[in-house]
Structure 1
Amino acid sequence: MPDAFHARITAELADIDAQGLTKPERVIQSRQGPEIQVGGRRVLNFCANNYLGLAGDERVVQAGIAAQERWGAGTASVRFICGTLEIHKELEHAIADYLGFEDTILFAAAFDANGGIFEPLFGAEDAIVSDSLNHASIIDGVRLCKAKRYRFANSDMADLEAQLKQARADGARDIIIATDGAFSMDGYIAKLGEVRALADKYDALIMVDDCHATGFLGPQGKGSFAHCGVKVDFVTGTFGKALGGAMGGFICATKDVVALLKQRARPYLFSNALAPAVCGSSMEAIRIASGEEGDKLRSQLFANAERFRGKMAEAGFNLLPGEHPIIPVMLGDAKLAQDMAARMLELGVYVIGFSFPVVPRGAARIRTQMSAAHTFDQIDEAVEAFIKAGLELGVI
């Protein structure tokens, strides 16, 4: 390749680093959990999406091993050619039954689920009205679709109504409102009750990305729509967070919608079927999450979030308000966020600094995430480390 190309790439990387925007990869030497091994030493983990603490749970691990022993490493193909196993159908039924939908389609990743939902279902005659803070995967999925695009300010119901009015005035055939159920950078929960009312008023469909809600929000952990007490038309989600922590995504909808997606959704048609081990682990996680043990884990998760939030606020940190176990510690400056994360690791707490383009410029932060597996002692230890680092760096 031309030398000029390599020089440009090197310069761009140097610029990213100079702005404090480099996102380091740290190697974990243990199972995921509230405590992990990083750099040969024990550290407390406060940045994983391991909401129910099931990623390293022995039952979840063994269920994955058993599935792989029975079904092998994978199908070596996409499903419509020769790739559907019984365990894929079992997982589809398990997640659909858990969340209260007719059917489910599985994807290799939740990014693929959001990337594949819009284009097969909506055309140039239709409209997609999308929240401005939706996950990048929704944004990319909307871009792949020919439907007319409208955007409303994050959880701004007046703006949502204005966009719905405009879409109707523009003659849209079908309108779909697309929103995260819980916004991953802020921990805000979507106002789905108000969204539902506006959808009914303007005869619109609702699609919710519940990656940061399935398993722990709402009754039995059924998600943000259950938390808000409403019904929605499509739910996308993941097995890579609360439900086992592996990977894989899904769309829950009616049988006919799922049937059409299986004929037309490109990420489904052209990606290998989900690995059997992921299916086995995910089904065991669903079993745990949907039962009485799941209720206990959810109770502990939110007790942990309340304790951490209270102690950090008392110490003088700037936190975004909310009830979600995502608790952002706002710092503003990208380099400060990276320095804070590095110092926290030295103090034995693994957290990550988030900065542009993951969050808006000037809104850099440490995004902490609680788990049901954390103990109060671990939370208190993390808060003490935050206070020490915060004093040293002038944050508090």
Structure 2
Amino acid sequence: MQSAPGAYTIIGGRQYLYFVGTGYLGLHGHPEVLRAACEATEKYGMGSATSRRGFGNTPPTLDVEARAAEFFGKDDAMYFMTGYLGNSVLVQGLAGTFDLVAVDESSHYSVMDAAVLSQRPIVKFANRNPESLAAVLAEHCTDGKRPLVITDGVFPVRGIIAPVDGYYRALKPYAGSALMVDDAHALGAVGPTGRGSLEHAGLPWETVNTNVQPDGAPRLFVSGTLSKAFGAYGGIVPGSADFIDALKADSPYYRAASALPPANAAASAKAFELVRDHPEMLQRLRDNVKLLRDGLRGLGLDVDDSLVPIICLVLDTVERMKQVQAELMEQGILIAYNPKYSDLGPKGGIRIAVFATHTKEMIQRLIDGVAKVLAV
């Protein structure tokens, strides 16, 4: 890659119409985001060269937490090295509050890593299947065991939303239960205001990432990343003041790891500002997703009407999917064939990402290109 990822991206010296990756709002090359990163580097250097428990809290680091809290309607937030660690940050912060971890079998590798880190028994349930979860809980959560369920909010290649409301209902009979969601592909892109899969499902957002278990209902937790829809970098956990204070006090990622570079923090803060001030970004993304999904369905492809900006096509053979990718690449259009990923079956799948910065003409060009390839 020889340019910022965007609607057009230079790969290997050639400019492609780009439908790959995770830059859903098109902010990775936004001039204000880049300017914020450059100015922060000039003022604060490459990094603080110490942990946040020491003297590593530069103004951009504190700013991104304040802006994240504002965007998510919370008191505070914890900003850390990478969204991949979000589940681990939460699992460590919740230590002692659960006895067993139940994981959606197609969850991201980072979810599995966090489950192992918990040092609690791990069981898996069938992908996107609340009935399977209920059966697993009935079998394993005897004698007052408190289950923690962990899942992706949006599965990263198939682009399917987890039935988190169904998981929530399955947990209700178990006192002290909790649902944790890795919302890396949903925050900023899914939900009425971009707050992700829990907001999309209508679950009580005010209880998310708090120390409260309302009326005995399952507790709700979420983590995410700023490297996808928000166009910058770093992991984020927004929450109530007491929850975030406790998380920071206990987290080795806060007290023992170097703080993120000021450039990343400043870019992230600016991205939050842009998304806040320009809600039309999210609407453009939704309009583009609908346009592409409708167009692909019109070609007879199995595409649902979700507003998730990820479309997965699984064709009859691996060779056919590779052919589609290669022939579109010859046309100057880039999509991704993924032979293997956490949420894919044995054939893999074609992953198409939609951005807010794609125009109607660009999307129609992709639809026409797919139609041409499939007609051969």
Q: So what's the TM-score if we normalise by structure 2?
A: 0.88
Q: 2:24, 2:285 within 8 Å by CA — same for their partners in 1?
A: yes
Instruction: Check 1:199–1:298 CA distance in 2 against 1; reply closer, same or farther (3 A cut).
Output: same
Name 2:259's counterpart in structure 1. Answer: 273
Name 1:6's counterpart in structure 2. Answer: none
Name 1:355's counterpart in structure 2. Answer: 339
Q: CA separation in 2, counterparts of 1:193 and 1:76?
A: 42
Name 1:237's counterpart in structure 2. Answer: 224
Q: 1:91, 1:279 within 8 Å by CA — same for their partners in 2?
A: yes
Shift in Å, 1:358: 4.4
Instruction: Check 1:225–1:124 CA distance in 2 against 1; reply closer, same or farther (3 A cut).
Output: closer
CA deviations over 1:342-390 (Å, ceiling 9, x no partner):
3221110111111124454434211001111000100011112222233
Q: CA separation in 2, counterparts of 1:373 and 1:125?
A: 43
2:67 to 94, 100, 103: 94
Name 1:58's counterpart in structure 2. Answer: 31
Q: CA separation in 1, counterparts of 2:43 and 2:140?
A: 51
The one-letter amino acid paired with 1:252 is: P
Q: CA separation in 1, counterparts of 2:320 and 2:24?
A: 27
Name 1:315's counterpart in structure 2. Answer: 299
Q: 2:50, 2:258 within 8 Å by CA — same for their partners in 1?
A: yes
2:160 to 163, 180, 188: 188
Instruction: Check 1:330–1:162 CA distance in 2 against 1; reply closer, same or farther (3 A cut).
Output: same
Q: 2:336, 2:350 within 8 Å by CA — same for their partners in 1?
A: yes
CA deviations over 1:84-110 (Å, ceiling 9, x no partner):
223212212221232123332222111
Q: CA separation in 2, counterparts of 1:149 and 1:324?
A: 29
Q: Does 1:306 find its partner at 2:293?
A: no
Q: 2:186, 2:194 within 8 Å by CA — same for their partners in 1?
A: yes
Structural RMSD (CA): 2.2
Higher RCO (CA < 8 A, seq sep 6+)? 2
Q: Does 1:375 find its partner at 2:362?
A: no
Q: CA separation in 2, counterparts of 1:51 and 1:360?
A: 21
Q: Does 1:122 find its partner at 2:109?
A: no
CA deviations over 1:284-339 (Å, ceiling 9, x no partner):
11122224x22x12221111111111211222334366331111111254444334
Where does 1:43-82 land on structure 2 (aligned, <5 Å)? 43-82=16-55
Q: 2:224, 2:237 within 8 Å by CA — same for their partners in 1?
A: yes
Q: So what's the TM-score if we normalise by structure 1?
A: 0.84
The one-letter amino acid paired with 2:153 is: G
Aligned residues: 361
The one-letter amino acid paired with 1:166 is: E
Instruction: Check 1:265–1:76 CA distance in 2 against 1; reply closer, same or farther (3 A cut).
Output: same
Identity %: 29
Name 1:104's counterpart in structure 2. Answer: 77
CA deviations over 1:146-179 (Å, ceiling 9, x no partner):
122222212211122222333431542x322212
2:197 to 217, 220, 224: 224
CA deviations over 1:182-210 (Å, ceiling 9, x no partner):
11121111223333333333231121111
Q: 2:158, 2:343 within 8 Å by CA — same for their partners in 1?
A: no
Q: CA separation in 1, counterparts of 2:322 and 2:81?
A: 31
Q: Which blocks of at least 5 consecutive residues in structure 1 are unaligned?
A: 1-27
